Amino acid sequence: MNSTLELLNNRRSLRAYSDQPITAGEKAAILQGAFRAPTAGAMQLYTILEVADPAIKERLAETCDHQPFIAKAPLVLLFLADYQRWWDVFNFSGAPERARELGRPTRPLQVGDLMLACCDTLIAAQSAVIAAESLGIGSCYIGDILENYEIHRELFDLPPYVIPLTLVCFGHPVSQRPAANPSPRFPAEYMVHTDRYRRLAAEEVEPLFRPWIERMQASGGKFVEGAENYGQSNYLRKFIAEFSFEMSRSAAAMLKNWE
């Protein structure tokens, strides 16, 4: 296995950071890694917003499902799905007017445009994460940035066609990281299909989650209260958790500008 594959296989989330700062050179390398990510039509439909103000970090630690480590991260990058920049370019360039002069149809920004921007944004974020890992800098994705859209829109002065898609915290580990013991992943036969999608059968649920159950049992863990199996445990702990209802409400609010 080469060094790149080792890095990909050993990567795991880091939530405890040392006081060692991320240097300007390291930050530039992380950002350059993001900028070189694949992008639809070379449009780079994202913006990276560095959260430098400690007060804003503290605010995010609350609005993103109460996670204090966010405020302590040396580098916090907010990855924004951004079609506003190109929409402004189109209008500054007189593109819609020219299209009408040529007898071509025009249209507003729509959900398909947002989905494309989301793809660009997440690819850039993951490229930044891998660039950081190559420098010995750990990271943690914060999906809870999808919650509380109205608060985050005001906090970051976001225009209509920009949405906060993911937040990533970066930092050096507090101490030498122990040998990798990555969390399980679904076996390939469940993740890779050929030519046609294949739905999961009921009898496949147990083997699908067996690695997680064995890991949980080895560490003395157990299902959440009231759950009798892994599916129930995940449903009760995450799918119907308070943050999930808020995330869905918030995401619906984001979509209104794209309808």
| pLDDT, position 173 | 95
Which range of residues forms the domain containing residue 171?
3-182
| pLDDT, position 232 | 95
For 135-229, where are the alpha helices, taking DSSP H only? 149-156, 188-191, 205-218
What's the mean per-residue pLDDT of the chain? 96
pLDDT digits (tens, 9 = 90+) for 225-240: 999 999 999 999 999 9
Cα→Cα distances 22→19, 63, 93, 239, Å: 9, 25, 39, 35
**Stretch 239-250: mean pLDDT:** 97
User: What is the chain's Cα-based Rg?
Assistant: 21
CATH code at 146? 3.40.109.10
Beta bridge pairs of residue 75: 170
Q: Is residue 251 part of a domain?
A: no
Of the candidates 247, 146, 226, the one whose C-alpha atom is nearest the C-alpha of residue 235 is 226
Contact (Cβ atoms closer than 8 angstroms) between residue 136 and residue 175: no
Q: Is residue 227 part of a domain?
A: no
Q: Is residue 241 part of a domain?
A: no
**Stretch 54-61: mean pLDDT:** 98
Q: Is residue 34 part of a domain?
A: yes
Element (H, E) at 177: none
Q: Is residue 69 part of a domain?
A: yes
Per-residue pLDDT band for 176 (boundaries 50, 70, 90) equals confident
| pLDDT, position 178 | 62
Domain count, the chain: 1
Going by the DSSP 8-state scheme, the letter that residue 165 receives in this structure is: E
d(CA 190, CA 208) in angstroms, rounded, equals 8
Q: Is residue 80 part of a domain?
A: yes
| pLDDT, position 112 | 98
Sign of CA dihedral 216, 222, 227, 228: positive
